[in-house]
Chains A and B, each alone.
Chain A
Amino acid sequence: MATQYDIPVGAQHISLLEPLHFKFTTENEKIIKTEANVGYVHRGIEQACCSKFKFRQVSFVVGRVCGLCSISHTTCYSQVAEKLMQLDISKKAKYLRMLVIELDRIHSHLLCLSHVAENSGFEALFMKTMAYREFSMEMLEAVCGNRIQYDFSIVGGVTRDLRTDVAKMVLEKLKIFKPQLDELVDIYSNNYTLGLKNKGVGVINKDDVYTLSAVGPFARAAGIPIDVRNETEDILPWKEVGFEVVTETTGDVYARNLVRLKELYVSMRIIENVINGLPEGELAVDFKGFPTGEAINRLEAPRGELFYYAKGNKTQILERLKIKAPTFSNVAAMVHGFSGNEYASAPAIIGSYDPCLSCTSR
């Protein structure tokens, strides 16, 4: 038997963007066992939401759970609170929520892709992807007022309308981005040396996804068409604005790249359809009363299924708020996905997992 070595990676490491610790047990450069520790940044946000903040303020608090997907958190919370309050929001507010969610997905997916490129040793591709991503940040700033942590969704609707000049600018920028995305798809799909780094690496197959309850692009890259946008038409009308599930089959880093890239085309189509078909209506409904009973809500964040559970007690303060982030669901599959791979491939695999520990630890 070859000598086994334990190699710690993280909580702070050059290939990790997040405070996450892996302990790899390796044998002849191959990873044979992985242990994970995710508990470095627990901030007590759930407890704060149930003790220090009124339920109307909580949508602003959960927006701070994560800088990357704050619109997912604020919208998912707003939806679960609207269920507790039995509120029916306007179609316009639903459309505007979908607009920002998809703009957010574009910037998040491009961030992930850029880091896969960087962790695979492709610095120039990292910079190119990040440069192309900039348009989505500018669009988010124009629509929401902030580049990140946009307090856009609130209980009952949204905070800002879409100005005509901003809508026109978004559509023009999408036209510029389309050939840039085509170029990225070509590079990530066909570059020979990037393929050597990404194909057949970090494989999570269909059975693994089922067994380990993985979600998001992680699961879709293995061929499982799990996407909350496909399942919650009653909450946000995704299919009305052109949503389609994207899947690949090989379940490796390469497939995860392709799923994210192809989802950008879907996001662009949704954004165009939302802007061109934006209905008239109020931004937010006025309501009185306090939340009561319990409710759950799911929403497809860039990394997969986001889940909120809320329990009200007829006061301003919630009895319990539970947040389950997509990365949390993927921890078991992440640990499994390293086995059998070369240690040198670990950074690219981690990048393709797109882990978000501020969401996971909360």
Chain B
Amino acid sequence: MTRIETSFETLKNDVAAFYKVDKHHFITMNGVDLGNDEIEYQWFFCDYDYPCAETMFVTKANADVLVPSIGEVVASAWVAEAELADLMGVDIENADKGFMLEVDSDEAPLRKKKK
């Protein structure tokens, strides 16, 4: 797996420069709570060709920073972004809350509980 470090400022351009719609498919977006309100964001892609090559764009940010959407480049990204917005309790550009969780669910279940 190729790991590409990115930042919120350059994410859209980095993904746009990499992503070819008939060459790669978008797997999903992920978040890892690193503690101290810091989250590592990951975007996974895979080649259509064999042997396949998997690529992960990765960056870290504070949980209260608005996460940019890659929806302009990857049309299907809204699903993974809406899920992460619910499960991590973060704000993602253009992502509505309530897609993955019911209104009476725990908020941000994938965040580490503060002791």
Which chain A residues have a beta carbon within 8 Å of chain B's beta carbons? 37-40, 42, 44, 46-47, 210-215, 224, 226, 230-233, 296, 298, 305, 307, 309, 311, 319-320, 322, 324, 328-329, 331-333, 361
Contacts of A42 in B (CB 8 A): 100-102, 105, 109
Q: Do B99 and A37 touch across chains, with their CB atoms under 8 A apart? A: yes
B4 an interface residue at 8 Å Cβ cutoff? no
Q: Given the known inter-chain contacts A38-B100, A361-B100, please indicate yes or no for A231 contacting B50, CB distance below 8 A.
A: yes
Contacts of B61 in A (CB 8 A): none
Q: Do A332 and B76 touch across chains, with their CB atoms under 8 A apart? A: yes
Option from B26, B51, B83 in Cβ contact (under 8 Å) with A213:
B26
List 20 A-B pairs, Cβ < 8 Å: A39-B101, A42-B109, A46-B87, A210-B22, A213-B76, A224-B48, A231-B46, A231-B52, A232-B52, A233-B51, A296-B54, A298-B27, A298-B54, A319-B32, A320-B30, A320-B33, A324-B28, A324-B80, A328-B79, A332-B78
Main secondary structure, interface of A, reads mixed
- Separation of A319 and B51 alpha carbons in the complex (Å): 29
Contacts of B54 in A (CB 8 A): 296, 298
A-B CB pair tally, cutoff 8 Å:
87
- Separation of A212 and B51 alpha carbons in the complex (Å): 22
Q: Do A231 and B51 touch across chains, with their CB atoms under 8 A apart? A: yes
Q: Do B110 and A329 touch across chains, with their CB atoms under 8 A apart? A: no
Contacts of A232 in B (CB 8 A): 52
Option from B1, B51, B76 in Cβ contact (under 8 Å) with A333:
B76
State which residues 31-46 of B face A: CB under 8 Å.
32-33, 42, 44, 46
CB of B90 to closest CB in A, whole Å: 15
Option from B21, B75, B109 in Cβ contact (under 8 Å) with A44:
B109
Q: Do B79 and A331 touch across chains, with their CB atoms under 8 A apart? A: yes
- Residue of chain B at shortest CB distance from A361: B100
Option from B50, B75, B99 in Cβ contact (under 8 Å) with A211:
B75
Contacts of A214 in B (CB 8 A): 76
Count class of interface residues, chain B: 35 or more
Contacts of B100 in A (CB 8 A): 38-39, 42, 361
Q: Do B78 and A329 touch across chains, with their CB atoms under 8 A apart? A: no
B12 an interface residue at 8 Å Cβ cutoff? no
The interface centre, meaning the residue of B51, B75, B98 with most chain A CB atoms within 10 A of its CB, is B75
Q: Do B110 and A46 touch across chains, with their CB atoms under 8 A apart? A: yes
Contacts of B42 in A (CB 8 A): 309
Q: Do B76 and A211 touch across chains, with their CB atoms under 8 A apart? A: yes
B25 an interface residue at 8 Å Cβ cutoff? yes
- Separation of A361 and B100 alpha carbons in the complex (Å): 7
B86 an interface residue at 8 Å Cβ cutoff? yes
- Separation of A229 and B106 alpha carbons in the complex (Å): 37
B74 an interface residue at 8 Å Cβ cutoff? yes
Option from B21, B22, B28, B32 in Cβ contact (under 8 Å) with A329:
B28
- Residue of chain A at shortest CB distance from B75: A211
Contacts of A213 in B (CB 8 A): 25-27, 74-76
Contacts of B80 in A (CB 8 A): 324, 328
- Residue of chain B at shortest CB distance from A231: B52
4 closest Cβ pairs, A-B complex = A332-B76, A231-B52, A324-B28, A39-B100
Contacts of A210 in B (CB 8 A): 21-22, 25
Q: Do B25 and A309 touch across chains, with their CB atoms under 8 A apart? A: no
Complex interface bits, B17-29 against A, C-beta within 8 A gives 1, otherwise 0? 0000110011110
Q: Do A307 and B98 touch across chains, with their CB atoms under 8 A apart? A: no
- Residue of chain A at shortest CB distance from B98: A39
- Residue of chain B at shortest CB distance from A328: B79
Contacts of A233 in B (CB 8 A): 51
Q: Do B27 and A305 touch across chains, with their CB atoms under 8 A apart? A: yes
Contacts of A329 in B (CB 8 A): 27-28, 76, 79
Complex interface bits, B94-115 against A, C-beta within 8 A gives 1, otherwise 0? 0000111110011001100000
Q: Do A311 and B32 touch across chains, with their CB atoms under 8 A apart? A: yes
